[in-house]
Structure 1
């Protein structure tokens, strides 16, 4: 009997992953984001937390609700659309419950340091014997193999060890971390892709496998040109600010009420831009009439940039976007308020209302758009152990009497 038929009766979500059951035993973001993507697409995701030590992202601001019952919007954003149970993996009964759940599970996602689950007697080798089809997705700082596999890690670890931190910032200044948890997010995205690839293989062969995703590995793939510049020319990438290593103009330019990104570096886009601002002859100026000439740093700084900012400085961000239309690549550099209120973001359904503390709160939506996918229903994040009785009864066969005993023993 497959996990899908054994879990029949468990509340299922609509979507292409309907029928899949996922155990999410992760914390914070590197892991919860991965399983959130699966939940948005229809998987039944069960958030597993320790009964006395739940996911500490629940304590991250901003908070919503009355003072005596505030809930974390940060936590909700990454744990929406999930069921919630509690298990104490250090108790014998907690371990047995996880094993029972694994029998009826398609995917397990964990983000412990490599070796932790093995020490608990719950590693892949053990769980695979219980359910040969199980996809075991493990997210960690440095992966399950290699000399650094046991090192502790956070998002900043991935940014530092993956090379991205060294490239970010301005020339002649110390490097600057990327202004978001890109290591956690990238690892979660790769974990979701790897999980679905392994699932496809399991559907064909009946055998599951480990999906091993490292934050360092994930960040390394985001360094664009840096690897091949080094391996081909022994050049080490360094901070460039808003500049680009091999095309100009391509970056940030001042306008009347802020800044815009302009990327009209090709001869075609350059000619259109010159005409757009009433100076078509600038496209034929022998000092700046080719991409190669405009890329020269001195030319870019002394001729091209002053020319563009002279044009752009007469207009607001909105006016420039309207003028550029679909003719040249120009976008306002928007703050998050402007993004949230952007009509195009609204048209793409990228700010969605998620229930939290008795109200609906706008959160980022699902960026994967499938033509066959109906509108996604967004549900609240679970309270710790909110669905213990439902999940344990239907997936682990726990009776009401057993449930009461497990609760009093601290196993759940």
Structure 2
């Protein structure tokens, strides 16, 4: 385990809050790139872990070149994309294809609690630093491997991206306009879901390691992760043989529960329960909308596809057509499930988002400030750290070698001259 003194020293090097979080004292070696992996380790860093991001000295995480970019005179631009998923980390470089670089990773692992990697299965084994080797170096190591299809099964060695997971996990086939072609979910949901499950797996394995002294492999598949996001699709198929198709903004059986147009855009309205339907009629309609339609009082009747299409939906559309998003939210937002459909600019400036500290600002000297999303995990005693900077490539290599691994200055210089770091 890392000592409090070294943890505070490394935290100061990274210029992030050294206040102990829930995972204070936990050391994570992060050999991931892009999003599935970096986001997982970033969450652990936000929660207080000391995360050491290991990059190849000549081939670093290529999201360092992803837009949007922040400019600084006389220097390389900095990727806001990279910064968003790598805050609160320490930068370390090592050529893991070089024997001495692999040896450095082993020495890091010997002092660590967790390693996170997102290579294709077998890659780390080829380098001689896979789980079978690293658990010999550190028997209590939690080794988290995030990949497209997991460490087992016939697809395990296939290359994969987020879209691969959306395609093979079922989500792509369900999403899109009704009677139209399937449409990918408009974000990298496979990467993000795998990262979140990775955090859950790491925390569970850490607790086991702390109580038994034995680490384990945390095997996370993007395909598996996406499958769990398909709501009732699995049970609909296994019980009834139904294969869900794209429905646009509609729900497969709950009505009204979808997108509706209004004067200046769209709102989500989900007043499908008997309670919310009655309140909605009283707020938006006239006396006849509820009292004059007793055959619409029961939720099951409103769920009928024909009744909904011919009577319920036109009624709701009439309610909303002359009102703005703001007017509708002010009128009914506290009483029924009604929310404006907001673009990201509206979301970033939303008062609820501000109240929850969900957009945070970090200053990067010379570049200015960068606003990114905060942490949805709210802990009242050990709050997440969200304003730390992402590291420059290898920014803390020398300090980690010296303060954590005990290298002398001449040894560090030799490693640098050899291209190992």
Query: Is the shorter-chain TM-score for this pair beyond 0.5, marking a shared fold?
Result: yes
| CA distances 1:107-155 after superposition (whole Å, capped 9, x unpaired) | 1000000010011100111111111111100000000011111111000
Counterpart Cα distance in 1 of 2:386 and 2:244: 44
Counterpart Cα distance in 2 of 1:375 and 1:25: 22
Answer yes or no: is 1:353 the counterpart of 2:361.
yes
Question: How many residues end up aligned between the 2 structures?
Answer: 411
Counterpart Cα distance in 2 of 1:139 and 1:128: 17
Counterpart Cα distance in 2 of 1:47 and 1:304: 54
| CA distances 1:145-170 after superposition (whole Å, capped 9, x unpaired) | 11111111000011001000000001
More off after superposition, 13-22 vs 141-150: 13-22
| CA distances 1:274-315 after superposition (whole Å, capped 9, x unpaired) | 001242432240442321221222222222122111111121
Residue 300 of structure 1 aligns with which residue?
308
Residue 80 of structure 1 aligns with which residue?
87
TM-score normalised to structure 1 length: 0.97
- SS state at 2:165 partner: helix
The alpha carbon displacement at 1:173 in A equals 1.1
1:103 pairs with one of 110, 124, 140: 110
Whether the 8 Å CA contact 2:29–2:114 is kept in 1: the answer is yes
The alpha carbon displacement at 1:178 in A equals 0.1
2:395 pairs with one of 366, 382, 386: 386
Counterpart Cα distance in 1 of 2:408 and 2:257: 64
TM-score normalised to structure 2 length: 0.95
* Counterparts of residues 278-317 of structure 1 (less than 5 Å): 278-284=285-291, 285-317=293-325
Answer yes or no: is 1:178 the counterpart of 2:185.
yes
| CA distances 1:332-389 after superposition (whole Å, capped 9, x unpaired) | 0000001000001000000000233531111000000012124735121111111011
Counterpart Cα distance in 1 of 2:81 and 2:22: 26
Residue 11 of structure 1 aligns with which residue?
10
- SS state at 1:69 partner: coil
1:246 pairs with one of 234, 253, 270: 253
Whether the 8 Å CA contact 2:333–2:339 is kept in 1: the answer is no
Residue 28 of structure 2 aligns with which residue?
22
Whether the 8 Å CA contact 1:6–1:395 is kept in 2: the answer is no
Counterpart Cα distance in 1 of 2:383 and 2:154: 46
Counterpart Cα distance in 2 of 1:230 and 1:268: 31
| CA distances 1:47-77 after superposition (whole Å, capped 9, x unpaired) | 1100000000011100011374211000000
Q: Per the alignment, do residues 411 and 6 of structure 1 end up closer, same or farther by CA in structure 2, a change over 3 Å counting?
A: farther
Residue 207 of structure 2 aligns with which residue?
200
1:132 pairs with one of 128, 139, 152: 139
RMSD (Å) for aligned C-alpha atoms: 1.5
Gaps of 5+ in 1: none
Answer yes or no: is 1:143 the counterpart of 2:142.
no
2:349 pairs with one of 321, 341, 355: 341
Gaps of 5+ in 2: 12-17
| CA distances 1:232-274 after superposition (whole Å, capped 9, x unpaired) | 0010011010010111000000111100000000111100000
* Counterparts of residues 315-330 of structure 1 (less than 5 Å): 315-330=323-338
Counterpart Cα distance in 2 of 1:377 and 1:252: 33
Whether the 8 Å CA contact 1:249–1:263 is kept in 2: the answer is yes
Whether the 8 Å CA contact 2:265–2:324 is kept in 1: the answer is yes
